Structure 1
């Protein structure tokens, strides 16, 4: 097929994105994963039903934990500081916004996490025989995920 007859609509690349954490926490992230939602399905059949099947109904929504990965930088311990603030019955929850950007730097799709807090922080592994960058990981638990157009 000739180039002029091909479709001019292409999927967005996934490498151009921005993460904003409420309260001014800033970082350039390498990877974001876990932007998933699902619903429990409940099955029910009442006793006088003439159908030999169950009715399926939606139940409670469930959201996956979201994992953020970024490089370690000199003096940067903001993930660990946020994680350290969480104690029993004292949780610092924040809104988190992830934006998939187009080539102009404008958001096309926006994921918003509600009441997010750090579930775990994982520092980099250390290896004297490697030249890889030091990467840290923050796993966020949250209470809701909203997906919207940019």
Structure 2
């Protein structure tokens, strides 16, 4: 892994930590009023919005599109939805597992069940963000006319 990619991954992870706090807090709030998987999806969307803004301003600042913010936002949302598949899919699998049946009465069980999916989603989202959403644009050399 190149040093610049490693540094981006560290920044990506710091932004992810901020989004994780928002994700967990939103999940905790919405799980009191919504079915768990729906609460998980709402919390995920709030975390995605946080991620996009923070990645534009911090992680991929030099690669963020200054011209086409809407296009970039839609691309980021699409990439995040791809990352949502392992994130929410693993969460769904865990809350329907025999393990969860034994521990679901613990107040933190719905939040602990989020962690494996978040890790899988983070890896997916980093790869898509680096190589698709915030892909480094080639520098076009300007040659003077001969």
TM-score, length-normalised on structure 1?
0.26
Greater helix fraction, Structure 1 or Structure 2: 2
Per the normalisation by structure 2, the TM-score is: 0.26
More strand by share: 1
- Answer with 1 or 2: which has the greater Rg: 1
